[in-house]
Amino acid sequence: MEARERVLRDASASLADFIASDRPSRELVNETLELPAGADYVLIAETAAAEGGMPSLRLEKRRRLAQIATRDLCGELSLEEVAAALSDLADAWLEVCLTHLHAPAGMAVIGMGKLGGRELNYASDIDLIYVTDENVPRATKAASSLSAELGGHSPQGQPFRIDLNLRPEGRSGALVRSVEGCIEYYTRWAQPWEHQALIKARFVAGNASVGKEFVDRTRPLVYPSDVSPERIASIRRMKERIENHAARSLRGRKPDTADVKLGPGGIRDIEFSVQLLQLVHGGSDDLVRCPNTLEAIAALADGGYVAEDDGIALSEAYRWLRRVEHRLQLWQERQVHALPDRESDRTRVARSMGFRDTVDLSATANFDAAHRRVLSDVRSRFERLFYRPMIESLSEATGTRLSEEALRERLRVLGFRDAERAARNLGELVSGISRRAVLLRLLTPAMLRFLARTPLPDAGLLAFLRLSEGLEERPAMLGRFRDNPPGLEFLAAVLGSGRVLGELLEHVPEELTTIAAHATSPTGDHERKLKDRGRLVEEARASLAWREPEGRLQGLRRFKRREMVGMALADLGGEVDSSEVGKGLAHLAEACLEAALEDVHGRFAVIGMGKLGGRELNYSSDIDVMFVHDMDPSLAVTVGEGLVRAVGDVTPEGQTWRIDLGLRPEGKDGALVRSIDSSLEYYHRWAQPWEHLALIKARVAAGDPVLGQRLVDGTRSLAWPETSPQGAIGEIRHLKARMEKERIRRGTDARLNIKLGPGGISDIEFAAQLLQLQNAHEFSALRVTGTLEALEAATQVGVLPSDDAAILIDALRFLTQLRNRLFFMTGQPVDVLPSKLEDLEALGVALGFSHQPLQELQEAHLRTTRRARKVAERVIYG
């Protein structure tokens, strides 16, 4: 047996039996020439009919089917080529049959469904409509004969299953109508689903001018300039009826035997999504009026009606599902759409799809996993595309209303975890007759779609509700989003990022203006640039100028909150990266410190340490500081205590910054403030090596700049010594090891600790500081306070290979952004990756992973920290 025959035998028992007894078909199967083109099939069919009439024509059809199937199974044809070849085969046989039966010259055959779209299956029905411009009785006789000859059973088999139910009035209608009669029916009596079916109408055989007239005259009916909500609702109801019927027919079957055509995530989900979008946009854009599904997806994506990633994903999923459908149908040439229950049959399907056993899983298990991913992805995209807008389902004022159970299910599929609560929130959003309620009914459908793509849709929806309640008297604020999809999408991204920004926006709703302006300016004028330190200091002082003494703390907290929202918007909008955020937050902290010291008369300075000193704060950072003075000691203590209260105390308006004084001389046991001379004496006489290391980041943050710089300059010989004191490097290494051992909670996976875990932020910072400690005396470029700056300088001066520096820099940026996004989600300073899978997945979405967010995040985190750990160990431990 030839190899090609074995391939066909393994995938199709019926065709294998056929070619075993038919030599011409075996020759076609083993032939490797190009398949006939459409016109060539007509010549082939004419030759067969001339040699043996209809019996020969029916036999030749099956031979050509076997030829196409073999080329398909050998991987020589794409799905598009297979479907086109099967459709060309049907077109040609219809054409030749009409001629053979002496059909009237004015008769035409219109292909509908998959034949109309040139996407026929191996066992598809061919959906037909017969039309004529003359003698209807004669055309009816020819149509009846054609249906019997090509659609009836015979010794040569049944060439095609002919379905005439899509003709006007379906089974009750006349077999053949004039073009005028058809147009009258579609204009006056046709249901919305009948107009939808006409999307795929295509002339396939007979009189070309008559067939094209039919198609052309139905286009205005299929694609009106304005699609009514009732029509959209009707299409959705039909889809739901199809799903319910499919669910009943599959009741009792195993879950994995889902119907690839009608089940959730199946072919119909894609086709209905595409066709609804075609109906909505085809009236104004004739480029999307494609009968072929894959061509229609491409046209919708090119036109911007679906996102590019949705277009790509749906195209790939459609090819997958149609290939699975082909494999199911080829086995016995039957209309099969459900995966088989029996393991052996399932294995056959898996192998015919190219899957093989691996070390861990069988071919069947590998196929099942891939198939489930496709179904899940399609269903998710279908729910977003097919149910937008959802307004008629959510508001009593617009008519049809989803049942509570159906609404909860819809929201669950969209990605809302607590669908019941989300449904209640929706009810509150869209109920009532106020201007705000009417506006929210317009905004909510798109808002839901955009929220479904965010990390935490539930939190976003709740925040949208609270925000809208706060704007009851100012509906114009929300009105900025009415015809502004980019702005509304950005608002969803902000609210769906977690609880923090939603709560902050309730206090500073004026920032909605910035959000609404996002991505709407063609010149990019809306782009937010972070304010420099000088401007922030001026604005911080101005926020206190008019206040009574007891109100100054609240004023400072409101200023910090407003500016932090602005930075977060620039961050989420992609206008700044994590290092720019770190600098912006450091400038904001310094502005708050300067404002709090405005009325101080005397030489007092705040030294920034740690992340403040390095200008690399994150949203949840403490600010590490120490105070030095050259003034009356008791007055200095009063200033220091007042500054801690002004910036660090919690009030009804919140807290400006958490202040950490643990890096001051003698740490928690030391004096709150020290004189400049006492501070310098301490560092030169008693400070430990780790304190010298911490001085690398020392920088004047606020207060008297000359005094502060005196402390910084006076300790530079310790931060960047000419030679490190004996044992200092070893002690620092020992401290690093102790931190990893003692500060990571027992029983937890150290690898999940963003800060202290292997390859975490601490590894990177220690590596950079050790390079500075050992080399900055020789290379002035290393005398910087920022970690990223230090790593870049280390490469420039040749003490760190550029590849190693790139690994550490990329890791620090990744981990800093991860930490920031976790803060947006939780509102808490978090240094450990979430333990719940759904929270991990949300974090993956927050970081921009879209295909499989959970797995992509885990892989990226593991890959990044492993590489960073290897480099850091070489630098720190030698």
List the single range of 268-272, 356-360, 400-404, 761-765 with lowest mean pLDDT.
400-404
**Amino acid letter for position 619:** Y
Task: Tell how far CA 579 is from the center of its chain.
Answer: 25
> What pLDDT does 730 receive?
84
| pLDDT score, position 628 | 97
Per-residue model confidence (pLDDT) at position 407: 65
- Tell me, what's the pLDDT at 595? 93
By three-state DSSP, how is residue 617 classified?
coil
The pLDDT of residue 522 is 36
Q: What are phi and psi of 373, to 5 degrees?
A: -60, -40
Give the per-residue pLDDT at 432.
61
User: Which pLDDT does position 251 carry in this prediction?
Assistant: 62
pLDDT at position 739: 79
The span from the CA of 834 to the CA of 857, in Å, is 12
Report pLDDT digits (tens) over 547-560: 566 667 788 888 99
Say what the pLDDT of residue 538 is.
Answer: 93
Report how far residue 440's alpha carbon sits from residue 444's, in angstroms, rounded to the nearest whole number: 6
Give the Cα separation of 536 and 540 in Å (integer). Answer: 6
Confidence class for position 393, pLDDT limits 50, 70, 90: very low
Higher pLDDT, 781 or 397: 781
The whole-number average pLDDT for the span 489-507 is: 90
In angstroms, the CA 643 to CA 641 distance is 5
What is the DSSP pairing of strand 604-609 with strand 623-629? antiparallel
Question: Residue 33 pLDDT more than 90?
Answer: no
129, 112 contact by CB (below 8 A) = yes
Mean pLDDT in residue range 98-127: 94
Distance CA 643, CA 589 (A): 13
Band (134; pLDDT cuts 50, 70, 90): confident
Give pLDDT, residue 397.
32
Measure the CA–CA gap between 218 and 201, rounded to whole angstroms.
9
pLDDT of 777 higher than 70: yes
Q: Return the higher-pLDDT residue of 42 and 551.
A: 42
| pLDDT above 60 for 266 | yes
d(CA 334, CA 15): 12
- Extract the tokens encoding 176: 């053949």
Of residues 417 and 465, more confidently modeled: 465
Whether residue 834 is preceded by a cis peptide bond, meaning omega within 30 degrees of 0, is: no
Helix (H/G/I), strand (E/B), else coil: 602: coil
Distance CA 341, CA 775 (A): 69
Mean pLDDT computed over 270-299? 89
pLDDT at 35 over 70: yes
pLDDT number for residue 430: 63
Residue-wise pLDDT for 119-128, tens only, equals 999 988 999 9
| CA atoms of 847 and 857, how far apart (whole Å) | 8
Mean pLDDT, rounded, of the chain: 87
Provide the pLDDT for residue 473.
67
- Is the pLDDT score of 7 beyond 80? yes
- Going by C-alpha positions, the residue among 577, 602, 574, 589 that lies closest to residue 647 is 589
Q: What is the mean pLDDT of residues 327-343?
A: 90
- pLDDT range class, residue 394, cuts 50, 70, 90: very low
Answer for the pair 505, 493: CB distance below 8 angstroms, yes or no.
no
> Residue 519's pLDDT is what?
52
> pLDDT band for position 751 (50/70/90)?
confident
Percent residues over pLDDT 90 in the chain: 57
| pLDDT tens by residue, 184-242 | 999 999 988 899 999 999 999 999 999 999 999 999 999 987 677 677 778 878 888 87
Q: What is the mean pLDDT of residues 1-16?
A: 88
CA angle 588-589-593, nearest 5°?
A: 115
Quick one: average pLDDT of 429-458?
Answer: 74
Lowest mean pLDDT among 383-392, 520-529, 666-675: 520-529
What end-to-end distance do the CA atoms of the chain give, in Å? 66
Structure tokens given for 269: 């989900």
Contacts of 632-641 with C-beta under 8 Å, sequence gap 24+, read: 632/602, 633/673, 633/675, 635/602, 636/602, 636/604, 636/673, 636/675, 637/672, 637/673, 639/597, 639/600, 639/602, 639/604, 639/673, 640/604, 640/672, 640/673, 641/672
pLDDT at 264: 87
Q: Is the pLDDT of residue 401 over 60?
A: no
Render pLDDT for 711-745 as a digit per residue (tens, 0 to 9).
Answer: 999 999 999 998 877 677 888 888 878 777 777 77
Q: Which span out of 79-83, 148-152, 488-492 was modeled with the highest average pLDDT?
A: 79-83
The Cα 257–Cα 263 span in angstroms is 10
Residue 11, C-beta contacts closer than 8 angstroms, at least 6 positions apart: 69, 73, 327, 330, 331, 348, 352
DSSP conformational letter for 338: B
Q: Are 105 and 207 in contact (CB under 8 A)?
A: yes
pLDDT at residue 523, as a whole number: 37
Model pTM score: 0.58
Q: Using CA atoms, how far apart are residues 434 and 651, in angstroms rounded to an integer?
A: 36
Provide the sign of the torsion angle of the four alpha carbons 582, 584, 585, 586, taken in this order. Answer: positive
For residues 565 and 478, the model is more confident at 565
The Cα 322–Cα 371 span in angstroms is 12
pLDDT at 462: 85
Cα 713 to Cα 720: distance, rounded to the nearest angstrom: 11
Question: How many CA atoms within 13 Å lie on the side-chain side of 583?
Answer: 14
d(CA 698, CA 769) in angstroms, rounded, equals 12
Please tell me the predicted confidence (pLDDT) of residue 252: 58
Q: In this predicted structure, which of 304-318, 632-646, 703-717 has the lowest mean pLDDT?
A: 304-318
Residue 413 clears pLDDT 80, i.e. is over it: no
